[in-house]
Structure 1
Amino acid sequence: MGWQVKITDYKSYLKIERALSENSIENYTRDILKLVNYIETYEINVGPITIDKDQIKQFIYEVSKVISPRTQARIISGLRSFFDYLVFEGYREDNPLDLIQSPKIGRKLPDVLSNEEINKIIGSIDLSHPQGERNRTILETIYGCGLRVSELINLKISDLFFDEGFIKVTGKGDKVRFVPIHTSTMKFINLYISHIRSLITPKKEDTDILFLNRRGKRLTRQMIFIILKDLCAKAKINKSVGPHTLRHSFATYLLKEGVDLRAIQQLLGHESITTTEIYVHLDNSYLKEVVEKFHPRKEI
């Protein structure tokens, strides 16, 4: 019924017009494929142009039986974006999601690790193993620079501008930013390059990639998650921890130390300041300190 054609067109739109990464594109289209699977399973004879609000509502009702309200809200948002595209291109006159409300959910605040917990995780690394030195450098780089996991695994040796004190980071939508790097992080990277990476023969396509596995290929996102999960288990850190947790922890620490929110926005590569503002909600004591320190009537 034309689903695959329209999904392919939509993916091209996301890549060319919105400059989204492959990971973001896959996330956008995954929920559309869930709708297609539902239609095929129940043998409903509709396509992306003819499906109506009631059929969409029935799909959402069925999937809501086995998913959380947060996931349900994400599915509705993803489908709304797809049908907005179809309306924009003139394939449809209306968006069947326009009158469908997402479930009310509170803002989910990310877990944050203290400096002590970060040290425990890094301290649990077996440095007698070559991968141990690499893994320590990976964690020091993510936490020390506030990187996304995709930014880390695609970091190149040619992106390191240590004389200037910066690294070049390619973020979401292939947007490039220069992130200051601390001398301690430089030290770990230099040690890794000279003592570990120099002993590995990189694959041709990964010659310039900084972090490699034993076979000379760049690491995957999944591998970083596994490394961190295993280290947290060894360190007995009982929190939901992923690479993004280190990024959140980096930003939260800077905020608590008094760094301006706009500066944190630039360091993290957030397009909107509203994304960065989530860190303000992590520690209300910071806001209390700001009011006490800068309140215009504090001298009265």
Structure 2
Amino acid sequence: MQRDACTLVDPAPRVNPSVLADGRDGTVWAEILKDPAKDLFIEIDKWNLGPPDGDFDTLYVYHQNGSSGLKEEIFSEQYAAGDADKFPVSIRLDKHAQSYLADGDHLFFYEVLLYYGELQPPSDTLTLRFDRMGPNNGLPPKEVPPLPVITDVNVGSIELTLPESSDRAEGDHAYWWISKEIPEGVPTLPPEGDAPVTQADQKLPVRKATLEALGDGTAWVVYLLIDKAGNMGSDCQRQRRQQSPGHDSLEPDVVIKDAKRHGAITSIWRPLCRSGRSWRMKCAKLRLYFRY
């Protein structure tokens, strides 16, 4: 877009929409920020470029960390009237540089110094939101609270309670599974359910058919949290529980890995025991690890 007589401010720099997890607030996919093999570019369109032969306009591009951060020049170049084919100007961001490592809003704008010495007003601002932190502020996930005793009477109305995370936000999504086996890796079966996370102590339904199909013995419940930016959660530290009387102790190693391309997982397995026709939570000592 070129400046015209009615345009007081040049348009903001822009990015390819595919790098954005949320175009409304400029949230960038965490995968783009973390993967050294993936580049992040901003682009600047041509203004009314028309200096006389032998003169040039100068473009200055700036980065600012938050609304109160310091203005940092990240690019400058001179352009003559015949350089129209160099637009849009594509600028690769050094996303691993110190000034880009902070999570939060990063602002990008530019100024044009015209050939006769007049500095144009700053352009509109592109805001990109960087978020590299896993769900629950990167802390180990909380356990699913104990289930009530499950009988033939209430087997059709059982719900899990999703533990509250310290940084619950719009765009968080939960997945949950119930399994007879402790998998080494991501569950391969479809989840029991998935839902956007909308409130504290959110209820996650469990189908009656799922519980009945498990039969007698031990089953395991897992939930996964994926935040809007697709972050991967931190390592789960060892979780300790008191041994319930009358039950053998368990020390399985559980490894949960990335669930999908842009998926970040915060997860914990909790044991569920059924004896005859009654169900109850079975407390055990677990070792849990998180790998990515």
The normalised TM-score by structure 1 is: 0.27
Give the greater-gyration-radius structure (CA).
Answer: 2
User: Normalized per residue, which structure has more strand?
Assistant: 2
